[in-house]
Amino acid sequence: MKVRLLIIIASVLVIFSAAFVSIQELSPVTEIQIITGSSYLESYDSLAKLTDRADAIVIGTFKDVITEGIIDRTNIPYTDFSFKVEKVIKGSIEDNSNIVIHQLAGNINGQVVQDRDDPLFKIGEKALLFLGYGTKYFVLNGAQGRFPIINGKVSSMNYVSPKVQLVGVDLPPTELQVFVKQIQAHLK
């Protein structure tokens, strides 16, 4: 009786193991993601502060990945994107020009490493960006300076991705031109 019970249990385990392996073989391989978090020295809790601090404010579309790499002597990935500027709200960038935007996120050995609140930009993504400038343009405080445009409406990142925690300006989906006028009201 014990032998028969052991044979039945072993048979059930073999069947479930085979089914599990078959399911794994049929499942598509997904990209491994490593999610990080960021802390910033300064936070922009108002549109006035964000507008004042920005070296440039632009509307445009991410066109291509230019370079990917790891910052020297760190394990921090970066990606440089080509961004087609359609409209300049603030700054010395020309309308219809291409600029390079530097983001601390990218691929390391086939793994996407990105900030939970500032996911890696996507090619074709349209956005209104508040930019700082060092040797390259970068989005101020990640998600705080990044406002995706979807179907003519702009919003803060927490309305686009449920994983993003609100930091900075809370902007529910708003007509793009309405938000541009709000920004222009803060320009000196």
Tell me, what's the pLDDT at 22? Answer: 37
CATH class of the region 38-184: mainly beta
Tell me, what's the pLDDT at 44? Answer: 82
Coil, helix or strand for 7?
helix
pLDDT, averaged in runs of 10, over the chain (188 residues): 44 39 40 52 85 98 96 90 98 96 91 88 97 95 93 92 78 96 94
pTM for the model? 0.78
- Average pLDDT of the chain is 82
Return d(Cα 46, Cα 170) in angstroms, integer: 9
Return d(Cα 86, Cα 62) in angstroms, integer: 11
Task: Count H helices and E strands in the chain, helices first.
Answer: 3, 11
Read off the pLDDT of residues 63-115 as tens digits, 9 standing for 90 and up: 999 999 999 888 889 999 999 999 999 999 999 999 999 999 998 888 888 88
